[in-house]
């Protein structure tokens, strides 16, 4: 498949606007501006584009809700708070292909009649901040941002807003709170951001990868775009693979590529010819899979049928030397640290799960600890304010579901017999 999202990233000057234009960039924006906004949304609908942040929500539907709200101005926010452990798919776009994102945002801005956009960039990507700010200033100079884009009187202004180290700000209402200068704690829905978002105005929040699909989508049209990847869930997808594979990294492949092929064909299989033990397919919050369950198409529609989720497409591969009790404990240490503290099941539950997993990991586990973990996580599922708590609970439940003997062995042997 030709590269769409990671096109030209090997070019050392790929961040420069002239290089982007030379490679055919900034031609979809004038084309989109020549269309009435609702026709742009119609193309996105025909394309079947789903949000790439993790939830897979149909993009055109979100846009239609925001467009239908009579309040102005409207805002477009790019979620560049890429913090899901294992995920590094947006970073190459932000650092190597910033104009693709800017062009995508300007196209989306026109479709929404949004006049202002912000890129909410995680604090841990300082290099990307400078690259994006320089690219934005180049786009203003060439008239692709500003008050009169492509000489057609279309207005769209864009700025970078830097986060400050809070995973929860990847949740869209927490992101909005943070952009408004508050603690990143999620809001209750409804009202949804498409009606009452940032500064109480209709707001669309889309992921970096989602928005970066738009220049190509508009160039070829929704129908041609929909032929790429899974029929249920079209388009290219950036899978980012880490852990024990021969060739970890980012792979732009058709959406719906089989997980086993990603690991064994594209990434060269398990490092050193060792045995596969477990795979987390879509970032740490998604359910872990044992080696016999990896023949699944990696898209938003099919992964739930195979017992997991696509999430961010962040594949973490673990070989036989890894202690899964330790991995589960480390994941819960993360969730406890990142829980925003707003709701009790998440704030307390993540802490208790971490403590119990910690004692099992140290060889101090007690009989009944596994049932206690299942009971606490069962009391969190579906009862937390936002998906962070659900993610934490489901991590524990799925590790135990697939690898219970390893937890039992830890408690019985009072030590780790896998990693020593």
Partner 1 sequence: MFSEAAKKELQEIRLRYPNARAALLPALYVAQREFGWLSPDAYETVSDLLGVPKAIARGVGTFYAMYKHKPAGRNIVQLCTNVSCMILGAERLVDFLKNKYGLEPGGTTQDERFSLVIMECIGACGTAPAMLVNDDFYENLTENYIEEILQRYK
- Binding-site ranges for partner 1 (CB under 8 A): 82-88, 90-91, 122-127, 159, 161-167, 178-184, 199, 240-244, 248-250, 280, 284, 314, 316, 318, 322, 326-327, 330-331, 334, 337-338, 340
Residue 307 to residues 46, 286, 301, Cα–Cα distance (Å): 29, 10, 11
Residue placing its CB nearer to partner 1 in the complex, 82 or 103: 82
Cβ of residue 413: shortest distance to partner 1, in angstroms? 21
Cβ of residue 284: shortest distance to partner 1, in angstroms? 6
Cβ of residue 357: shortest distance to partner 1, in angstroms? 13
For 22, other C-beta atoms within 10 Å of its C-beta total 12
Residue placing its CB nearer to partner 1 in the complex, 337 or 412: 337
Cβ of residue 340: shortest distance to partner 1, in angstroms? 8
CA distance 233 to 255: 7
Cβ of residue 97: shortest distance to partner 1, in angstroms? 15
Residue placing its CB nearer to partner 1 in the complex, 43 or 338: 338
**Nearest to residue 204, comparing CAs of 68, 85, 327?**
68
Residue placing its CB nearer to partner 1 in the complex, 25 or 248: 248
Q: Are 186 and 64 in contact (CB under 8 A)?
A: no
Cβ of residue 108: shortest distance to partner 1, in angstroms? 19
Residue placing its CB nearer to partner 1 in the complex, 26 or 120: 120
Q: Are 158 and 144 in contact (CB under 8 A)?
A: no
**Nearest to residue 43, comparing CAs of 208, 219, 230?**
219
For 143, other C-beta atoms within 10 Å of its C-beta total 13
Cβ of residue 232: shortest distance to partner 1, in angstroms? 27
Cβ of residue 243: shortest distance to partner 1, in angstroms? 6
Residue 241's DSSP bridge partners are: 249, 315
Tokens 């069962």, residue located: 378
Residue placing its CB nearer to partner 1 in the complex, 4 or 208: 208
Q: Residue 108: exposed, middle, or buried by beta-carbon count in 10 A (0-12, 13-18, 19+)?
A: buried
Residue 110 to residues 36, 66, 141, 186, 416, Cα–Cα distance (Å): 9, 12, 19, 28, 57
By DSSP bridging, strand 146-149 and strand 75-80 are unpaired
Tokens 């809001």, residue located: 187
Cβ of residue 287: shortest distance to partner 1, in angstroms? 14
Residue placing its CB nearer to partner 1 in the complex, 165 or 382: 165
Q: For the CA atoms of the chain, what is the radius of gyration? A: 22
Residue placing its CB nearer to partner 1 in the complex, 45 or 244: 244
Residue 190's DSSP bridge partners are: none
Residue 242's DSSP bridge partners are: 316
CA distance 147 to 145: 7
Residue placing its CB nearer to partner 1 in the complex, 63 or 125: 125
**Nearest to residue 29, comparing CAs of 116, 114, 100?**
100
């Amino acid at each position: 498949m030709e590269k769409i999202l990671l096109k030209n990233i090997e070019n050392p000057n790929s961040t420069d606007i002239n290089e982007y234009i030379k490679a055919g960039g900034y031609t979809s924006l004038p084309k989109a501006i020549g269309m009435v906004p609702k026709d742009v949304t119609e193309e996105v609908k025909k394309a079947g584009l789903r949000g790439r942040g993790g939830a897979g929500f149909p993009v055109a539907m979100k846009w239609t809700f925001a467009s239908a709200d009579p309040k102005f101005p409207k805002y477009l926010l790019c979620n560049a708070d890429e913090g899901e452990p294992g995920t590094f798919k947006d970073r190459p776009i932000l650092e190597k292909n910033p104009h693709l994102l800017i062009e995508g945002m300007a196209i989306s801005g026109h479709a929404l009649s949004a006049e202002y956009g912000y890129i909410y960039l995680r604090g841990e990507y300082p290099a990307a901040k400078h690259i994006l700010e320089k690219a934005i200033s180049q786009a203003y100079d060439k008239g692709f941002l500003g008050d009169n884009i492509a000489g057609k009187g279309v207005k769209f202004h864009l700025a970078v807003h830097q986060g400050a180290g809070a995973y929860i700000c990847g949740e869209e209402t927490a992101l909005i709170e943070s952009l408004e200068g508050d603690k990143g704690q999620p809001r209750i829905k409804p009202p949804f951001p498409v009606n009452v978002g940032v500064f109480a105005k209709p707001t669309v929040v889309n992921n970096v990868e989602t928005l970066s699909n738009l220049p190509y989508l508009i160039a070829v049209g929704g129908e041609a775009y929909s032929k790429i990847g899974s029929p249920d869930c079209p388009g290219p997808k950036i899978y980012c693979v880490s852990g024990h594979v021969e060739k970890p990294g980012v792979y732009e492949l058709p959406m719906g590529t089989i997980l086993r092929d990603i690991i064994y064909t594209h990434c060269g299989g398990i490092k050193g010819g060792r045995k596969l033990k477990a795979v987390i397919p879509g970032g740490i919050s998604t359910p872990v899979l044992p080696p016999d369950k990896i023949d699944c198409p990696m898209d938003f529609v099919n992964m739930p049928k195979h017992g997991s989720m696509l999430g961010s497409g962040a594949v973490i591969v673990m070989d036989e030397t890894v202690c899964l009790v330790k991995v589960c404990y480390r994941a819960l240490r993360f969730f406890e640290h990142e829980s925003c503290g707003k709701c009790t099941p998440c704030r307390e539950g993540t802490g208790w799960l971490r403590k119990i997993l910690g004692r099992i990991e140290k060889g101090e586990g007690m009989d009944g600890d596994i049932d206690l973990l299942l009971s606490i996580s069962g009391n969190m599922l579906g009862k937390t304010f936002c998906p962070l708590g659900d993610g934490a609970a489901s991590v524990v439940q799925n590790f135990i579901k697939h690898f219970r003997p390893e937890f039992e062995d830890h408690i019985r042997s009072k030590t780790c017999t896998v990693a020593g």
